[in-house]
Structures are given as structure tokens and as C-alpha cells.
Structure 1
Amino acid sequence: KGYADYVLFGSNGKPLAVVEAKRTSKSPDAGKHQAELYADCLEAKYGVRPVIYYTNGFETYIIDGLGYPPRRLYSFHTATDLELMIQKRSRHDINDFKVNGKITDRDYQKMSIKAVCEHFNKKHRKGLIVMATGTGKTRVAISLVDILTRNEWVKNALFLADRTSLVNQAHKNFVKLLPNMTTCVLSDDSDHDLNARLTFSTYQTMINHIDTEDKTFSVGRFDLIIIDEAHRSIFGKYGAIFNYFDSLLIGLTATPRDEVDRSTYEIFEMEQGEPNFAYELEEAVADGYLVNYIGIKRGSKIMREGIKYDELSPEEKAQLEKVFEYERINKALEGEPGRDIAASEIFTYIFNDDTISHVLQDLMSNGLKIKGSEEIGKTIIFAYNHRHAEMIVEKFNKLFPEYGPDYCALIDNYVTYADDLIDKFADKNKEPQIAVSVDMLDTGIDVPEVINLVFFKQIRSKIKFMQMVGRGTRLCKDLFGPGKDKECFYIFDWCGNLDYFGKGNEGVGTKATISLTERIFNLRSEIAYYLQAEEYQEDP
């Protein structure tokens, strides 16, 4: 007996939803059973069970009729959202696990896909996959979208990443491997197909679309959200996105399962250290899907002992004063320019001209080389900040002007059209050959040709460190010539990161590569030496 507070009817005259609203002084749960009774009556009369909402004005919960437990919502769905939700009730468990081999063809990838699908079959709405950088997380995501759409679980999906370059990279892969699905890349300055099946966005851009009175998307616009590199900071900074949208959620991360923080597991409603699937660096290297690194530990007297102001030349003192002024403006350094610099401070800002020279000369002499060992391979130098990166590029151009102005390039957020530079760096036939990066190349960039990483900054987050190491782990066929594939990459560590994280050089030596020119010179010298033997001398 009694009347429902609100019933939303569809265009066909049948109920889409029933709402039971209680006073704000009461718990919304007080109206749950009452709403279910109203839904029973409406189902008996109209032959369709409406979606159930119950609320006290502050908190709103939904029972969608798909078998999930009640869950809290940010807001109500639109009529279109509700119609699609009711249509989904006819779906079956995901039983078509057939993976398109053109998308994912490795056994561990197929295992990860099946693990998430089976998790969803058990009425879970969130899945988490741990896979080392370079093992195909994006391809796994594409296969999951393919399988979930084929099984009629997903119609519209959203892919989120923290940088535009990563969004564009993912979009290219989805378009290539799922060419029949409409796509949209959100940005703040272009037109969009807001009805596209697949939407790609940075977190901040999506916040801009939903953090307005006239929201671009409804809470039910997406059936699935995929998070690239899911970790605590994303949920802390952009949690409003996941509170707003009512969808399935899949998190991808390269962070080792034991390093994923507890709060991330809690967000995905999982036990600590137990994602749906994990395939980590050591396993991938052992299976031949990634390459390992050779750690080359470097240092300098300045890094060990600091800078003694009185021991500097006038030119170095002038340079140090400029550093002080720059860092003081950026609130990174205190004190007067005429003081000594402790060794611990060197790890915060390494601007010493001599140190930069040593780092670059060491790289060019001992770094892995290609093209008959004549040219340094693709290299990333991780710099501390923008000014540090500028000084590295300036010093390279002074030391090695013969390589031209584009050979070594600064890539960070201060650089206009940095994404274009990233695309050029990712092209094996284009320059720059050496990228000096401040944060932008730390994660997510897929450049298999990278064979040298220079850590010219101190890292104290193991998650970030492993992500940076991942820039070099990808396989690359014929990199050193026909049949000569990439087998390892070098890490030049100038700031004690390998020791800090308990990493060695993996038991492999650090023998320098000798260029073709050097080998020819050495061979000629050796021939000349032997030709001096008595038996090769002519009588006068």
C-alpha cells in the first residue's frame, strides 16, 4: 500500500526507475525495502522491473537489477542510461574468451584477460592488472574492450591517462587494432564526437568536463573505465572522476604487486598483494619478453664531498651564483651564494659544469652504440629540473657540435610542442637521439630503441624508479644489424639510485663498446706492429 515518491517512465510508457526519498535526518537504507516493494508492484503491472534508487538527499544508492549489491552513486542516471541498463539484464556471463591473436597473442596476456573476465562474472565491478612495462598492458586493455563488447557487457568505454602523449599513444593503438569502433580524443580546444564508443582523455581534461553545472557526460555514459598506471596519487588527485561515473573499472599498473600501496588495493576492493593478475619484470625477462639492464654505478668527488666555494675558479663561482639565484627563485635553495655546498645538496641540484661534462663524455664513450658502433643509441637522460636539463643540452652542444642542433633535445612541460619532440624521439630514423627529460619520459613512452638511461637525478620512490627503468626494457629486433637484436640496456647511475633500491649490475660486466673506427685503427696498429718483425723487413 502507499505511493512511490517518484517513478520515471520511458517513452514507451513503461517504468525505468523508482525513487524512494527519505528525510535527511534518516539513513537512506530506511527506504531500501520500501523501494523494492514498489518495484515489485511496478514489475507486476508493466512487465518490466524498474531500476531502484533510494536516497536521503545526501546519499543515493542504486539496485540495478543486474545482480550487483547496492552501490552508492554521485547522481541519478539519464533516461538513456537507464534504458541501456535494463537492456543489459539479458546478458549472460562472459563465456566467449576467444582472444583476437592480432591484438594479444602471448599466453600471459590471455591469462590476464580471462582473470578479469571471470572476476567480473562473479559480480565484482573492479579489476586490477599488474604487468611490467613493455609486456603489453595497452594491448590487454584493447582485448578486454573487444571481448566485453562482443559479450554485450560494454558499449561505451573511457581510457584515462595522466599525459596527453600517453592518451594519444593509446588512441593510436586502439584505432589500429579496433578499427570499427568510433573514437574521440578529448581536449580543451577542439571539437569532439561525444557519442563515440571509445573516449580517450587525460584526468584533468575529464575533470573539466564533469566539474561544471552543465556536465558533458552523464554518470552512466561509460560502461567501462580503463585507468593507465593506477596508483594512489591518481585516486587522491582525481578521485572525483571515479566517484562520478557509475561503471566497471579496470586498473593497469607496472608497479610490482608488493609495491602497490594498500589504499590502491582497497579502492579496487582486493586483498593486499593480490591483483587479478601479475606478470612482473623478472618473470618477463626470464621468459624472453623483456631485456634486463646492466647497471653502471658512477659518481664524482663533488657528489661525494660537495663543493668547496673557495676552491672554485672565478668562472665556477659566477656559475654557482647564477644557480643560487635560480634556485632561490624556485624556493629550492636557501642561504648565500658564497657558502659551501654539502654533498647531500648535490643530489638536489647537480649544476656543476665539470660534472655535466663528465656525465656526457662518459655516455658518449661508454654508452651502447648502433650503426656499427659509430652512433650512440637512443638515450634518455633524467634531469632534476628544467634549468638542469637546459645546462645539459647546452653543454652537449659545446662538447659535441659536430652532431648538430637537434641531436640532443630537452623534453619537458616548458617546451612548446613537446609531444612532437616525443614523436620524433620515438622514430628510430629521426632526431633527437638523446632526450633530456624532466618527468615527461619517466613513464608510458614506448621507444624500443632506447638502450641507454642516464640517472642524473636522485629518485626516492621505488614505483617511480621502476617505471623509469621500464623505458629501456622493451625488445627491439635487428637493432644492431640483421639478426643482432637488443639483448640489454645500460643504466648510468650518477646519484646512487641503484644502491638505494638495492639493485646491482645484475652480475653482468660493464665493458665499453668499441666503435668501428676504433676497431679499424686498432687493427691497423696491430698489423703495423707485426710488420716490424724481422722476417718482414727488406734488406737495404
Structure 2
Amino acid sequence: MKEAAARIKINKLLEAAGWRFFADSNSPANIQLESNVTIRSQDLDSLGNDFEKASKGFIDFLLLNEKGFPFIVLEAKAEDKNPLVGKEQARTYARSQNCRFVILSNGNLHYFWDLERGNPYIITAFPKPDSVQSYRKITPNPSRLVEEVVGDDYIVLTQWPNYAAEAAWNNEAERPGFIAINGLRFLRPYQKKAIAAIQAAVKKGQDRFLFEMATGTGKTLTAAAVIKLFLRTGNAQRVLFLVDRLELEDQAKKAFAKVLANDYKTVIYKENRDDWRRAEIVVTTVQSLLFNNKYQRLFSPTDFDLVISDEAHRSIGGNARAVFNHFIGYKLGLTATPRDYLKNFGKSETKTTDPRVLERRLLLDTYRTFGCEDGQPTFRYSLLDGVKDGFLVSPTVVDARSEVTTKLLSESGFVVEFRDEEGENQKETYKQHEFEKRFFSDATNNLFCKTLMENALRDPVSGEMGKTIVFAVSQNHAAKLTQILNLIADRMFPGRYQSDFAVQVTSQVPDAQQYTINFTNNNLLGSGNFISAYKTSKARVCVTVGMMTTGYDCPDILNLGLFRPIFSPTDFIQIKGRGTRKHNFLEQLFDDELKEGVKTPVKSAYKLFDFFANCEYFEEEYDYDEVIALPKPKGDEGRSGTGRVGVIYKSYEHIGEDILSSIKEEEVGEYGMKIDRMFFQRFEDTVRQDTFIAANVEAGQWDRVVDYVNREVFDKPDAYYSLEKLRKAAAVDRRLSLREIIEKSFGLIQGFKSKDELLEEEFAKFVTDYRPEEATAIPALKNFFKAYVSNDQVRYSIENQQFTDLATNPVFTTKDLKAVPEKYRAIIPNYIKDYVPLNRFMP
């Protein structure tokens, strides 16, 4: 029965990958079952004692190429056997059929094995026929990769192969201008060391690497050199570059095209869905591939020979790691967040809900994913290294706290006393994470803005306030701060600005992404406001929430304002990194006489205004460079209005009596009631006809779509749509998200997956990540995994170690728990807490 169950699953996996048991109108069958083969006498000894030494054998599944020749040997084992037990048997069969590739599977756990490449590699889906055909063209040669000479002009030789013969290059006086005008990118010494570190790792037989490089040290250029190294030496045919945010797609594509276009083509997947195979470098967001399991449906494990994950612990965090692990071959992670960033901080020291603990676990998992369990990356180059070598600048950190924020930061919190409707004295306590969410203070926001503008670094050329990025709590908070900054600028610089001193740059603002580009290019809302010959942005402050954190490059930034508490070390590292790049301001000045009067043209520092003790939060006892004591905001606490603390209360009003007059039961089928189906259809028509929703769905701007539907479509008099009503109308056995409902409305998914279908997918991702060697225990692991996700009582019993309660649990019993290997009784709950959104499985 277990062998039959395994074969049924294998049959489905083969068909899903495009292999054919039967011929169709266009193509012949390319699967042979139980093929009889003759084993060469010289291969008999390799079979070992577990296989009958006979001159004949049977291949479970023999997959054929487009010409009908043997191509892949698939060795099937029963569900309770580890697929690897058939490894040598499959190798012998493969040799007898002149096959390079082997698949080993027990229906739950699968390995793809390239006999010319190394060891079997766990896969979650079987490779597609055309993908393996393409993959076959690459015969890896690690020795060539290791021996490749990578000099500082490794990238330049692609940009301009004969640059060294140019007169302007050979003239030392003209050389800097020649480099700048032609955009030539020479590798820095530490970037060459990073490449050498990969070569050394490959020489040791490693295929996973991690670069830990500070923001501003050129991770993308280093990645470009790695890509060239693998493609040029024939160790990769196609590279996948994963980013975690939509705006970084175009940025990465432009960066690679700028330095590699003469030799290799770069495309963004969503813009080239039909011809991405023609490119050597494919850029996409991990979210795009994760959506509706696109990575499994549209891509074969053999489609990419090198996968690079930018900002690794973001782009492979949670379920996204399944995308990364889907592809075989070499893997490189890039991160700016060190594993040991949280000093002397471990899981056991605080509760697991602490955001620092959760992020630390992600960091640990990132190092484990890239084969760096000992905490040592393949290559490390820190902010301190960059400052010491003269490539980066350190911040001057300014600690500024008002009395209100000091109380918010304290353990006791900010306490507001008030009287309720019955005249009783009540107290409400607010903590730092509730600032601008439940706790509002216009006076505090005014104080923050005034402090920033009075103490910010000035531009060394024009004397105006240096370019600044302010990080707000929310889009609403960003709008408030932008207005306050513009009002203050009117008073401080009369006539200089017309409400264009500060600009809100968030996803709700049209063309916000273009604003970030204009700010870098010094033409946001104009240029040269103080000196016409000086190209610097008229807008001096961009107020954002998260758009300008990761991957944003603006070297002439002089001030950063943390107007919000930060709980993620990655966010903190990224935000700090916006100011670390060096810059010479004379490059923007086009008046030689004025240049002579600029005393300090080179950026040597930037100011980081910390209004919520974020540095102290992450760095224990942080020694601030500058401390500013802010006065207490004026105003009566507990009352709403301008200049005062406001508190929002939720209320419930019920008038009169109500009783249940009758009750009637009626079973509704899987398609729901007709009125439900009509209700759902009307909603689909409504959102499809909305041009704003349609445009943002096409652009993948899901935050905008969800926010807009909640704001502009739900609870309107014409239909009173709501998420709960739509969930009920859909009649699915789990809780649907609004995004899923909209995806179905636009035909992006054909239907809603059941709870069990999603559980199967989540468990497959877990298996790919942890690769359990105990193959016989996989059914027990799956049973435990599903029960823990979907059953509150099981989850409560496990979390509180009340295992005796399982004796009477109808879903998962004590006997079921004993069948789970002991180490997985902790691994699976921790994995689910971090990576599986339980809300999706609620009824």
C-alpha cells in the first residue's frame, strides 16, 4: 500500500511537470514504466548487498528526451523508505542507459541528481522536460571558476574591452574624467576579496555562499562580478536575482545592464513572461514567484544554475525561502545585517513574541540556509571596515527625547487619566509602539520637526538645510509631518519655498517612486533654489514610511530622522545605511569661482536624529554623539485637538431588547447559496471595472489595492460589501484574505484552495527547508504539522506541554505525538510560528 501510494503521488508530479504517460495530438509519450535493462558486468559490484546481483533489472520510470532516447532514470521507493536507499541502484541503471540525470522519490521526499555535478539535491517539484534539455547543455567546470583571474578591471573589460588602449586612460590627468564620463566600474580591493572567497569555497566543494556587506559597499556591483564569473566560466547558463521589493526590480536591472549589457542580457520576469529564457540574468521579486506558487507552476528546478538573494534574510524569510530552495545549483545570499548584531541577545533571554527574538531567528536561519551555521559568512565587510578604509562615513547620532516620548519609552508607559461616560475615573497606558497609532500628539510632532530643522547639518555649498529623509510611523503620520515641516520652513526661510520644502513619499502618493529618483538626481520639485549654478534638489526633505529604506542610493544625504520606534534590526541597519555613502558636493557646482570658497566639500559625517532611543534599543548602552533635551509639549493631556494628546476609544451601542424568535437549519452545498454567488459576482464586477484597482493590480501594488478597497469599496450604501460577507459567500473551509479574493476577481487564480491543499503546500516547503533524513517519519511529521497549524487545542497542548490532554484529542493523539522524532517536536512548532500564517487556516 505504501509503495502504491508513493507511485500515485509520483505519477501526479510527473504529469504536473509536463511528462506524458500517453501520446497526445502534438507529442509522443515520454515515460516508460518498468523498463527492462541489461546491467553491465562491471557495474554489478556497485549494487551492494541490498540488490539482487542479476544481469537484468527494471527501471521504475524511464523518462525520454524529445528524440525518444533515455534521458532521466526515476527510482521510486515506498513512502516509508528514504529515497536515497535507491541511489546506487539508480546510478547503475543510469549508466546502463547512458543517462546523466536521476530522480529519487518516495512520493513525499524527492532528489534530483546530476551525475556529473555532485550529490543529489532535494526538490519540491519535478523538472520540466524542456528545462532539463537546456540544463544538459551546461557541464559545470568548478576548476575553471576557481582559476579565473579577477582583477579590479573585471567588470570594465565587459563595459569597454579595449579601455586600456585609449589615450584618455593613459593620460593620468584625464583618467578620472574618462572613468566618470564612461561610467566605468572598477572593483575595490574588498570586492575582489569577496570574489576570491567564493572561488575558495567552490574549491572546497561548497555551493552556497553568503556575503555580509555593509550598506553602501557596492553589493550589486559585487553580485555583477559573481554573475560574470559563473557565466563566463560555463558554470551557469542562467542566473536568477531575487529582490524583496517591487522598486528594486528596475534598479537591479539597470545596474546589471549598465555593467554587463555587452556580454549578457538582463530582463525583469514580469515584463518578459514569454521570452525570459533568452536572457542570462532574470530579475524578479520573491513575492511575484511566491504568488499562487508560481515558482512551482512556471519554473523547473533546473531553470537557473545560480540564484542570488538580495537582502537575503528578507527575500528568503518566511514562505519565501521555498522559492529559493526550489531551484538547484549554486546559491548566493547578500545581506547588510550581521548575525550577531543584537549584542548578548539570545532566545532564552526574553519571550518569543519580542520582535528582536523573531528577527534574530530569521538571521540565524539565513546563515543556516547558506551553509554558514557557525555564524561566519563566506565574506564579511562591515561599516567599520568601510569607514576605516575611507569608503564610508559614520553617523553623528543625536538623542532627542521629549517628556512625552520619555514616558512612552519607559516600562510604565504614558498614563492618561480620564472619566468615562458614567463619571468613573479611568486610566489608559500607552507604549512607544502605539505612537501615531493609538496615541496622538500634534505638539510632539511639531517639536520633532522644529528640533530637526534647527539642528540639522547644512549643505556645505549653499548653506541651506542638507538633504534629509524622515521615517514616519504611517502614511497618515507622514502627511502630518510633511505639512508641519513646510509650515516651519515658511517661517524660517520666508519666500524661499512654496510648500515644496518637504514632500511625502509613500505608496499612496502618485508617482512616489519617481520622486525618490528625482531626489537622488537633485531635481525634486525644482533645483538650485539658493544658488542657480548649484544642482541640488529644491525639496530638502522626503518624508516616507518604508519606500526609501532598502536599496535607495542618494549619497548627498546629510540628515536622517527616526520619527518612529523601530523594532527590526534589519530596518535599523538599512535606514542607517542611507547616509553612509561618501560624496563630494563640488561635483554639483558649476561655478569655478564659487568652488574656491567651499571649505569642506567632501561629506565626512551625517546626522541621525533618534527620537525614540532606537540606538539604545539595539545597542544596549549606546554612547550618543549628541544629546538634546526637549521641553515637554504644552497642552492638557487626555483631550483631543491641536497641540494636545488625543485618545481614541472604541464603543459599542445596543438599544432595546432582542430575542430569537425562530431557528431553522439548512445545509448549503459547496457552491454556496445562489444569493451568495450573485453577491460575490457583483463584487468581482465592481473591482474589475474600477480603473484604479485594475491599474494597481497589474502593477502588483497590493498594499494600494487592499487599502483602496477597504476605504472606497467596502461598507458603501450601494452594496455594503465587507470582507466577512465575501468570505461567507465564497464558502471555503478557511479564512480568505482580501488579496486572494481580488486575485480571483481578476482571474489571477482560478479558484480558492482548500485548507488541506494549503497545508500540503506548506509542509512541502518545510521538507525542502529542513530536509529530514528520517524519511520513514515523514507521514508522522506531516500529521503533526497539519494538526498544529489547523487545531487550536493541539497547538495549546503542545505550547504548554500539556501532552496528557492529547489522549482525548480526536485530531492528534498521544500516540501520534510519539511517532514524531523528538527533535521535530520543537522544530515544527517554531517553524510554523515564524513562517506559516495561521490566520489563513481559520474557519
Q: Is the 8 A contact 1:16 1:79 kept in 2?
A: no
What corresponds to 1:139 in structure 2? 221
Shift of 1:296: 1.1
- Distance in 2 separating the partners of 1:184 and 1:166: 13
What corresponds to 2:382 in structure 1? 280
Give the AA of the match of 1:415: V
* 1:484 to 2:591 alignment: no
Q: Is the 8 A contact 1:296 1:490 kept in 2?
A: yes
* 1:149 to 2:231 alignment: yes
* 1:123 to 2:123 alignment: no
- Distance in 2 separating the partners of 1:290 and 1:377: 18
Deviations along 1:395-438, one digit per CA (max 9) or x if unpaired, are: 22333245223431222233333212221222223344211111
User: Structure 1 7/120 Cα, relative in aligned 2: closer, same or farther at 3 Å?
Assistant: same
- Distance in 2 separating the partners of 1:256 and 1:434: 30
The runs of 5 or more residues in structure 2 that have no matched partner are 1-55, 157-184, 342-359, 409-413, 419-423, 526-538, 590-594, 629-843
Q: Percent identity of the aligned residues?
A: 32
Tell me the secondary structure at the aligned position of residue 62 of structure 1. Answer: strand
Shift of 1:13: 5.3
Tell me the secondary structure at the aligned position of residue 447 of structure 2. Answer: helix
Of 438, 443, 446, the match for 1:354: 443
What corresponds to 1:415 in structure 2? 509
- Distance in 2 separating the partners of 1:458 and 1:413: 20
Deviations along 1:102-148, one digit per CA (max 9) or x if unpaired, are: 34421110010111132123332211000000001000000000111
Of 263, 269, 288, the match for 1:186: 269
What corresponds to 2:540 in structure 1? 433
- Distance in 1 separating the partners of 2:272 and 2:94: 44
Tell me the secondary structure at the aligned position of residue 138 of structure 2. Answer: helix
Of 614, 617, 630, the match for 1:500: 617
Q: Is the 8 A contact 1:209 1:216 kept in 2?
A: no
The runs of 5 or more residues in structure 1 that have no matched partner are 44-48, 312-335, 512-540
Give the AA of the match of 2:381: Y
Give the AA of the match of 2:150: K
- Distance in 2 separating the partners of 1:304 and 1:71: 53
Give the AA of the match of 2:606: F
Deviations along 1:327-364, one digit per CA (max 9) or x if unpaired, are: xxxxxxxxx99966646566565642222222222222
Of 86, 96, 105, the match for 2:148: 96
Shift of 1:388: 1.3
Deviations along 1:474-511, one digit per CA (max 9) or x if unpaired, are: 11122696571111100111111122233788785689
What corresponds to 1:454 in structure 2? 561
- Distance in 1 separating the partners of 2:425 and 2:95: 78
Give the AA of the match of 1:73: I
User: Structure 1 451/504 Cα, relative in aligned 2: closer, same or farther at 3 Å?
Assistant: farther
Q: How does 1:97-496 map to 2 (within 5 A)?
A: 97-99=149-151, 100-102=154-156, 103-180=185-262, 181-187=264-270, 193-195=275-277, 196-208=279-291, 210-211=293-294, 215-231=297-313, 234-259=316-341, 261-305=363-407, 342=430, 344=432, 347=435, 349=437, 351-370=440-459, 372-401=461-490, 402=495, 403-431=497-525, 432-478=539-585, 482=595, 484-496=601-613
- Distance in 1 separating the partners of 2:108 and 2:583: 55
- Distance in 2 separating the partners of 1:486 and 1:384: 29
- Distance in 2 separating the partners of 1:140 and 1:395: 41
Give the AA of the match of 1:39: A
* 1:55 to 2:105 alignment: yes
Q: Is the 8 A contact 2:582 2:604 kept in 1?
A: yes
- Distance in 2 separating the partners of 1:210 and 1:220: 17
User: Structure 1 234/143 Cα, relative in aligned 2: closer, same or farther at 3 Å?
Assistant: same
- Distance in 1 separating the partners of 2:626 and 2:380: 30
- Distance in 1 separating the partners of 2:402 and 2:384: 31
User: Structure 1 424/338 Cα, relative in aligned 2: closer, same or farther at 3 Å?
Assistant: farther
User: Structure 1 363/9 Cα, relative in aligned 2: closer, same or farther at 3 Å?
Assistant: same
- Distance in 2 separating the partners of 1:177 and 1:90: 25
- Distance in 1 separating the partners of 2:622 and 2:109: 54
Q: Is the 8 A contact 2:242 2:315 kept in 1?
A: no
- Distance in 1 separating the partners of 2:374 and 2:510: 42
Tell me the secondary structure at the aligned position of residue 298 of structure 1. Answer: strand
- Distance in 1 separating the partners of 2:429 and 2:125: 56
User: Structure 1 378/239 Cα, relative in aligned 2: closer, same or farther at 3 Å?
Assistant: same
What is the RMSD of the two structures over their aligned residues, measured on CA atoms?
Answer: 2.9
Shift of 1:275: 0.6
Shift of 1:84: 4.0
Higher relative contact order (CA 8 A, sep 6+): 1
TM-score by length of 1: 0.81
Give the AA of the match of 2:577: G
Deviations along 1:260-303, one digit per CA (max 9) or x if unpaired, are: 73221111122332110000011111111100110111111222
Tell me the secondary structure at the aligned position of residue 250 of structure 2. Answer: helix
- Distance in 2 separating the partners of 1:144 and 1:9: 34
- Distance in 2 separating the partners of 1:66 and 1:2: 23
- Distance in 1 separating the partners of 2:230 and 2:456: 45
Q: Which moved more, 1:160-169 or 1:343-352?
A: 343-352
Shift of 1:253: 0.2
User: Structure 1 410/111 Cα, relative in aligned 2: closer, same or farther at 3 Å?
Assistant: same
Q: Is the 8 A contact 2:240 2:306 kept in 1?
A: yes
Tell me the secondary structure at the aligned position of residue 111 of structure 2. Answer: strand
Give the AA of the match of 1:473: T
* 1:64 to 2:114 alignment: yes
Shift of 1:382: 1.0
- Distance in 2 separating the partners of 1:101 and 1:304: 51
What corresponds to 1:75 in structure 2? 125
Number of corresponding residues? 480
Shift of 1:87: 3.5
- Distance in 2 separating the partners of 1:221 and 1:132: 31
User: Structure 1 11/342 Cα, relative in aligned 2: closer, same or farther at 3 Å?
Assistant: closer
Q: Is the 8 A contact 2:135 2:303 kept in 1?
A: no
- Distance in 2 separating the partners of 1:485 and 1:304: 36
- Distance in 1 separating the partners of 2:273 and 2:320: 24
Q: Is the 8 A contact 2:245 2:285 kept in 1?
A: yes
Tell me the secondary structure at the aligned position of residue 275 of structure 2. Answer: coil
